[in-house]
Structure 1
Amino acid sequence: MDWFTAPDYWLSRLVLQRALAAVYLVAFLSAALQFRALLGERGMLPVPRFVARVPFRRSPSLFHAHYSDRFFAGTAWAGCAVSAALLAGADAALPLWAGIVLWLVPWALYLSIVNVGQTWYAFGWESLLLETGFLAAFLGNDEVAPPVVVLFLLRWILFRVEFGAGLIKLRGDACWRELTCLYYHHETQPMPGPLSRFFHHLPKPLHKAEVAANHVTQLVVPFLLFTPQPVASAAAALMIVTQLWLVLSGNFAWLNWITIVLAVSALRVPGGAPDVAPAPLWYEVLVLAVAAGLLFLSRQPVRNMVSRRQVMNRSFDPLHLVNTYGAFGSVSRVRHEVIIEGTLDDAPREDAEWREYEFRGKPGDLRYRPRQFAPYHLRLDWLMWFAALSPGYAGDWFGGLVERLLENDRDTLRLLRRSPFPPDTPPRFVRARLFRYRYTSRRELRETGAHWDRTFVREYLPPTRLTGVAQGS
């Protein structure tokens, strides 16, 4: 069938697949390096405890059959290896059917991780990677030109990402309608980047222009993805520019990068396509069957988008095949940070020597300039932002974090930038306090060298010690 493939998108497919493999590699690396303290057998939210109460049908995962920290590590590192192989083009050296299977391997491995990841993996970019990764497995390899229907379904994902985010903003916080949300967002976003302070101090009229441009990109431009070329390519290019702007202004894991990957599906780059044989019948049947199934599942995200009670970042099936997306339906006006401190003193008095723990990404030390970590995802740092919004967001893991700090747990301390205590001398008490943070002005930065200023708000967690340890012992 001549209509089935699109040779002009040969290079677009190549770029899309290699970029997707790179995102997979970052995701698996993040899992491999952070899981022990978060999800391990002695982690804050242990996987064995989760699979004991949640059945396989609700969260399909390899770890329902077996779990050990070694097995989890093997799964994550295997995902890294397969992703690296795909990044190097291993699928192109295989028969078409084997290339599809190879692409489904990282999807299945990462699905197993996400489905037991609990709070640490409860974000839209996890489902977005899985949905994109599953569909991209059917893009084919060098044996065939990319199927038109898969390219359009990738654009359908991109449409839902952008349009869903645009709708949730208009229906949510009034500052989006008033064009004032960026007066606050660059300062209060979950994890600022090195340029976030610069963006925050831009003139307010420019902030309003940014919001207006965002509304156009998310509410108008997505419809152009389904128009003839070159309009569709121009729409995709505009989305890519917008996402790169977001990359510069903050740390949003791989959300922006996977969105850019999706936008490549609408970029037509003529030339470079070798002569290939027509797609085999079994491949056409498989792709059309997958497309029909995904379109059927899309009814729920569509209902969600048109609903006045639209929700963000919801998966409608345990395989994360079709999901709904959105971001920042509400914007915080002030930034709060939970600062964790410990002391070696025998009594947790206010005048004790309290030493502060430093995180890699979240603000703490006033002179420490935020770093760029995305697309790598610092899961504990990200959840600490939610903990500052409300203790209810941290109820299932914050106590476990404090307990592990009191033990000087090696895996937990590896997630931090700096512990104020030697490895063999854990603190006697740990406490947490809530502060309001704000960016310093340009003058304050010159005079003090501090990127942040903070004001004490209240006690977050009173001084706590390990159960069974007597005060003064």
Structure 2
Amino acid sequence: MEWFGDGGYWLSRLVFQRALAGVYLVAFLTAALQFRALIGEKGMLPVPAYVRRVPFRHAPSLFQLRYSDRLFACCAWTGVVLSAALVGGAADTVPLAVAMAWWAVLWVLYLSVVNVGQVWYGFGWESLLLETGFLAVFLGNERTAPPVLVLFLLRWVLFRVEFGAGLIKMRGDRCWRDLTCLYYHHETQPMPGPLSRLFHLLPRPLHRMETAANHVVQLVVPFGLFAPQPVATVAAGVIVATQLWLVLSGNFAWLNWLTIALALSAVDFSVLSFPAAPEPPGTPLWFGVLVAAVTALVVWRSYRPVRNLLSRRQRMNTSWDPLHLVNSYGAFGTVGRVRREIVVEGTDAVVLGPETVWREYEFRGKPTDPYRLPRQFAPYHLRLDWLMWFAALSPAYARPWFGPLLERLLAADRDTLRLLRTDPFGGAPPAYVRARIMRYRFTGRRERRATGARWHRDQAREFWPPTRLDG
């Protein structure tokens, strides 16, 4: 491996860049299709109100300069088009500087979205996409050999994703240490998938083996990423396999797919008997200087994430600067034992009483109808469904946006209703809406055969009292 570029990683770079472009495509598509109801001018948490109280230096974004729904839509759909072209390999057909600018535009556009997205964009995979996307700017194209320094920076990102998640588990919930967390996790995770119930019903000894294997993959295997080949390739392959297992077990937006892309960047495909690449042109001096400067910047910015990893008070999914350049990651430090879901209902009855008929709003991803099979949405991200899961954990998560959500349901707002699976009133406004918290659990095999239901639910308590629009 040469100090700066290694042509042996040409296929690793190609696969990684195509995969990253695919993730960008999904992220921009998610933004384009959901923003009006969430952060639009008439959304639950409007961007104009946010930028009036948050200065540019705390949330740098193009939308700090000017915002309109039309401008946001233009930026999001531009991101979709540019990402799709990169998936097709367009960056390898243009000069190196143009390819770098192309990746930089995607990064700036998505940074602008995340930094005004508020709680709807407060997920770790947003920062992970921005950090990875920033490094992709300096990965080059076919006009130069893959820069070794950037390839190792990508491994450093992957190390923090895996090792940070492993440490937060060992320092967090006791069930990770006694290997029992997966007795509950598949049932209580934010958004189960079509196979989650089958995972939950696996024998408990197998769950303990899953948990032990998870600790090995997250706490031991990541060190292999920095070992000579073929050890690094084997470590990356193990991470890919475990991420695919997670893809089957639930919906985690693009977290798993972006982690897989990072792992593939560490694979030396030449050891897998893939053909060698043609000799690339020499590396331009200006490009080498840029890569060295970015490497120094990332090393310098890594101080706080490393200190966080070593701290007993480790924080997960934390950005240490508004540009999201070097972040801290982690997931599921605590695992819930009971699943609670907020069920939103409406009625067209003007006068309420014991005989009032309430009809449910059904969400696209989160459990509502006990008989419906959960669907696979990832890598697409259903932001409202995820926040509903957090709201069921604590009303504090819902305080900024749940009232505005109910207002928009009472007004039969079309953009809000598009986020849902069903509108029980067919586009007409209800007279009242309310919300209840109900306890859900997967049915057992006998119960499933007897009732046909995939979930059993019972009422726990009221979450929001009956409310009308003028109330």
How far did residue 349 of structure 1 move? 2.2
Kindly report which structure 2 residues correspond to 1:190-269, keeping only aligned pairs within 5 A, or say none: 190-269=190-269
Secondary structure of 1:3's aligned partner:
coil
Moved more, 328-337 or 269-278: 269-278
Name the SS of the counterpart of 1:436 in structure 2.
strand
Alpha-carbon separation, structure 2, partners of 1:50 and 1:416:
25
**443, 447, 469: which one aligns with 1:444:** 447
Structure 2 residue 158 is the aligned partner of structure 1 residue 154: no
Q: CA deviation at 1:275?
A: 1.5
Q: 1 CA distance for matches of 2:69 and 2:12?
A: 39
| Aligned residue in 1 for 2:323 | 319
Alpha-carbon contact 2:6-2:148 (below 8 Å) kept: yes
Quote the Cα distance in structure 1 between the aligned partners of 2:291 and 2:352. 64
CA distance in 2: counterparts of 1:97 and 1:312, whole angstroms: 35
Q: Does 1:427 align with 2:430?
A: yes
CA distance in 2, matches of 1:411, 1:143: 45
Matches within 5 A, 1:20-419: 20-270=20-270, 271-419=275-423
Question: Structure 2 CA distance, aligned partners of 1:350 and 1:287?
Answer: 69
Matching residue of 2:470: 467
CA RMSD of aligned residues (A): 0.9
Shift of 1:305: 0.4
Q: Distance in 2 between matches of 1:41 and 1:349?
A: 37
Structure 2 Cα separation of the partners of residues 390 and 293 of structure 1? 38
1:414-459 CA-partner distances (Å, limit 9, x unpaired): 0000010022x21100000110000001111111110000011011
Length, aligned pairs only = 467
In the aligned structure 2, how far is the partner of 1:53 from the partner of 1:467? 28
Structure 1 unaligned regions, length at least 5: 469-473
Distance (whole Å) between structure 1 residues aligned to residue 426 and residue 158 of structure 2? 48
Kept in 1, the 8 Å contact 2:15–2:265? The answer is no
Report the Cα distance in structure 2 between the residues aligned to 1:65 and 1:122, rounded to whole angstroms. Answer: 22
Q: Using structure 1 for the length normalisation, give the TM-score.
A: 0.98
Q: C-alpha distance in 2, partners of 1:276/1:389?
A: 54
Question: Over residues 286-312 of structure 1, what are the superposed CA-to-partner deviations in whole Å (9 max), with x where a residue is unaligned?
Answer: 000011001100001000000000001
SS at match of 2:3: helix
The 2-side partners of 1:2 and 1:463 are apart by 68
The Cα shift of 1:350 comes to: 3.4
How big is each residue's C-alpha offset from its partner over 1:130-155, in whole Å with a ceiling of 9 and x where there is no partner?
A: 00001011110011110000000000
Paired residue type of 1:22: G
1:247 maps to a residue whose letter is V
Structure 1: how far apart are the matches of 2:408 and 2:43? Answer: 9
Amino acid of the structure 2 residue aligned with 1:430: V
SS at match of 2:269: coil
Relative to the length of structure 2, the TM-score reads 0.98
Structure 1 residues 29-82: Cα deviation after superposition (integer angstroms, max 9, x where no partner): 000000000000010000000000000000000001110011110010000011
Distance apart, 1:265 and its partner CA: 1.5
Runs (4+) off by over 6 Å: none
Tell me how far apart the structure 1 counterparts of residues 451 and 383 of structure 2 sit (CA, whole Å): 31
In 2: Cα distance, 1:83 partner to 1:208 partner: 40
Tell me the distance in 2 between the aligned counterparts of 1:456 and 1:103: 49
User: 1: CA distance between counterparts of 2:388 and 2:433?
Assistant: 16
Q: Give, in whole Å, the separation in 1 of the partners of 2:378 and 2:253.
A: 5
The residue type equivalent to 1:37 in the other structure is A
Using the alignment, how far apart are the partners of 2:369 and 2:321 within structure 1?
42
SS in structure 2 of the partner of residue 368 of structure 1: coil
Q: Which amino acid aligns with 1:224?
A: G
Contact 2:7 2:280 in 1 (8 A): no
Cα distance in 1 for residues equivalent to 2:3 and 2:420: 53
1:242-291 residue CA offsets vs partner (Å, 9 max, x unmatched): 00000000000000000001001210012331122220111100000011
CA distance in 2, matches of 1:463, 1:443: 37
| Partner-residue secondary structure (3-state), 1:456 | strand
Residue matched to 1:10: 10
Percent identity between matched residues is 68
Listed as ranges, the gaps of 5+ residues in structure 2 are none
